[in-house]
Amino acid sequence: MKALVPALGRGGILLIREASPLDYLRFILALLYIPRPNIVYTLAAMKYSFSYTALTAAVAVTSVFAAPAVVKKRAACTSAVTLSGDSNPFADNTLYANSYYANEITAAIGNMTDATLIAQAQKVAEVGSFKWIDTISVIPTIDAMIKDVPCGEIIGLVIYDLPGRDCAAKASNGELAVGEIERYKTEYIDPIAAIIADNPNTAIALIIEPDSLPNLVTNIDLTTCQDSADGYEEGVAYALEQLNLPNVVMYVDAGHGGWLGWNDNLQPGAEGLAKVYKAAGSPSQVRGIATNIAGWNAWQMVPGEFENDADGQYNACQDEDRYVTIFGEALAAAGHPNHAIVDTGRNAVQGLRLEWGDWCNVDGAGFGVRPTSETGNELADAFVWGKPGGESDGTSDTTATRYDSFCGLADAFQPSPEAGAWHQAYFEMLLKNAVPQF
């Protein structure tokens, strides 16, 4: 008797080939006893097909069928979660692998043929990462995502829609114009706060407005940043105040060591963050800062990637470990919480950038250390994946409205799509260069 030979085809179709009529009968009878996930089973040697509900796409390869083991997902918390700015939320909670990123990876796998890369990509889909709320239209999608978080896990969300967003670059310009602070409050922050308040049983970590306050320290000479300054400070303060909920912990973006780590930027940077924190009423759920978000800096590297440059002597924060410690001291002196989370999502490979400030789709990068609270630095709460690897930093199309020259540099991967769009070739590169490998 011939054995059933299963093969998973495109679109999740399980093909059964080279089976005898008796095999087909046994196969159909077995399905009556083995519940399985919504997959279309096709009897390839015959002109029949049917749908059946199932739990997995696995089928035994002999005439004897056995039900696969079912991995039961942990349930959501049944009581309210209470977090505190005084303790590390990642010590007892693992970063949630959100469905949006997992779906992006599933779609990417459909465009891959290398079996090794496919297996690695499937593992990436299980890694926790932050979901960016970068437009008002994204807000309605986060409720279901928050409700899906199992107890013992914490969902990461990035608040990112200030008026005049990304004042020092073009690639990530936002939907709200300078001066539209009331829209930011009523159409963006307030609905997010309402959704979070409606889900008190879920632990939530928020990264607050990447690049905004650091730009007011180093790029305030630009007219665009001057115009955006008041809105940035008012907007971030409002976000901190309204999102100060018991099941939330917040980390305000603080750039990275190559940004605010310069000797002349440490104190102004810390005081700038502290000013906004105090304007918000010193919210109890602010834990500290987020560093290296969507960045490339190493956690520990001696000498640092640019430490031997002529101006290296003016920056003691040559890796993020040193930055968290040194800037943390400045934050404490300024009256701002100083614990940190650090993005290690794409920082596996060093020595790729021509200049420290090169930030767009760095060529040759790889997935870095997976999220963990084991950092070795008492001020660093966790390594996280803040930027979902595979989503572009910006387009390399020089004719595009949002083209930024950094995305056309020699150390930037080209061609690349618009910021936030899926970048298949870049994702596969991150897989190949991951350290540690998946």
Q: Which residues are catalytic?
A: 166, 211
Pairing of strands 130-133, 48-52: unpaired
Residue 72 CB coordination number (10 Å): 6
> What does the alpha-carbon distance between residue 99 and residue 125 come to, in Å, rounded to a whole number?
9
Rg (CA), the chain: 24
Residue 294: which region, alpha, beta or left (left: phi > 0; alpha: psi -120 to 50)?
Answer: left
> What does the alpha-carbon distance between residue 411 and residue 363 come to, in Å, rounded to a whole number?
6
- Long-range contacts (CB closer than 8 Å, 24 or more residues apart) made by 325-331: 325/377, 325/379, 326/261, 326/266, 327/254, 327/257, 327/260, 327/261, 327/266, 327/269, 327/270, 327/289, 327/291, 328/288, 328/379, 330/266, 330/267, 330/269, 330/270, 331/270, 331/273, 331/274, 331/288, 331/289
Q: Classify residue 211 by burial, with Cβ atoms within 10 Å: 0-12, 13-18, 19+.
A: buried
Is-contact 361 413, C-beta < 8 A? yes
Is-contact 138 195, C-beta < 8 A? no
Residue 156: which region, alpha, beta or left (left: phi > 0; alpha: psi -120 to 50)?
Answer: beta
Angle ∠(267,377,270) on CA atoms, nearest 5: 15
Beta-ladder partners of 130: 156
